[in-house]
Amino acid sequence: MSKTVLITGATSGLGYEFVKLFANDGFNLVLVARNEQKMKEIKEKFQNVEVTIIPKDLSLPDSAKEVYEEVKKHDIDIDILVNNAGFGLLGNFDQLDIRKQTEMIQLNITALTQLTYYFLHEMKKKKSARILNVASTASFQPGPLMAVYYATKAYVLSFSEALVEELRGSNVTVTTLCPGATKTNFGSVANVENTKMFSKAMSSEVVAKQGYSALFKGKRVIITGTLNSLGAYAAKFFPRSISAKIAKYVGQEK
């Protein structure tokens, strides 16, 4: 019997790369995203597996529970959960739209947490189950000019690593993917494509493949790219005030 993966933010960037990887390995797909038309196109493209689409804006309150209820209504069991959906915004905190920043918190933190909660109870009953939470190298330091985004990704890493210990000895693994700048729609949405941090952005295909491999190896954290790994490691030893200055520098335009 084929296993099923649920992927949020499934229509572009890392999400779509994960779709291709799982579909090519014969996993049935549950896709969650705002763009219903794009999901229908994906469903037509991957007819070798069962594809269920759930149009949902996860930046809205209660959306995660609605996704869970929709999955149960279709009588689908989730073996792998990929919490990929998220976005960022560039600018000084007090000059950015607070409504959009609140939606960012809802999507990057609340929806990820709630989806993990709802599906984890059933995943623990399975012989084997996996969770992949997409964080960022932003998880390792404060980030002026993207203050809320960096904070949300710090939450994702801390939350995921805590779950690793809680679930140690169980049948569920939790892997956190921490990419640096990646060529996805994130750059245009966050308005960071012309910043120093995006000067050496990795391809979404490469990042997804590394995350996919780490997931099935049961790795706790995967940081993509040698320079990103060195930066995350160095951030452990720099005073956080220095790390914040560096993050502010790379967040400025080239």
Annotate 214-236 with three-state secondary structure. HHHHCCCEEECCHHHHHHHHHHC
Cα–Cα distance measured from residue 217 to residue 203, given in angstroms and rounded to the nearest whole number = 22
Q: Point out which residues pair with 177 in neighbouring strands.
A: 134, 222
Q: Report the C-alpha gap between 8 and 227 in whole angstroms.
A: 27
Each of the 254 residues of the chain gets a pLDDT tens digit; together they read 689 999 999 999 999 999 999 999 999 999 999 999 999 999 999 999 999 999 999 999 999 999 999 999 999 999 999 999 999 999 999 999 999 999 999 999 999 999 999 999 999 999 999 999 999 999 999 899 999 999 999 999 999 999 999 999 999 999 999 998 777 665 455 455 555 555 567 789 999 999 999 999 999 999 997 676 666 665 665 555 555 655 555 656 55
CATH topology of domain 4-250: Rossmann fold (3.40.50)
First vs last Cα of the chain: how many Å apart? 51
- Confidence at residue 228, expressed as pLDDT on a 0 to 100 scale: 66
Domain boundaries, the chain: 4-250
pLDDT at residue 50 in the model: 97
Active site residue 149: yes
The tokens for 103 are 């939606």
Q: Give me the pLDDT at residue 226, please.
A: 65
pTM reported for the whole predicted model = 0.88
CA distances from 115 to 9, 153, 163 (A): 13, 16, 14
* Active-site residue (options: 16, 68, 118, 149): 149
CA distance 174 to 163: 7
Q: What residues have CB less than 8 Å from 196, skipping those under 6 apart?
A: 249, 250, 251, 252, 253, 254
Report pLDDT for 242. 55
Q: List pLDDT tens digits, range 57-99.
A: 999 999 999 999 999 999 999 999 999 999 999 999 999 999 9
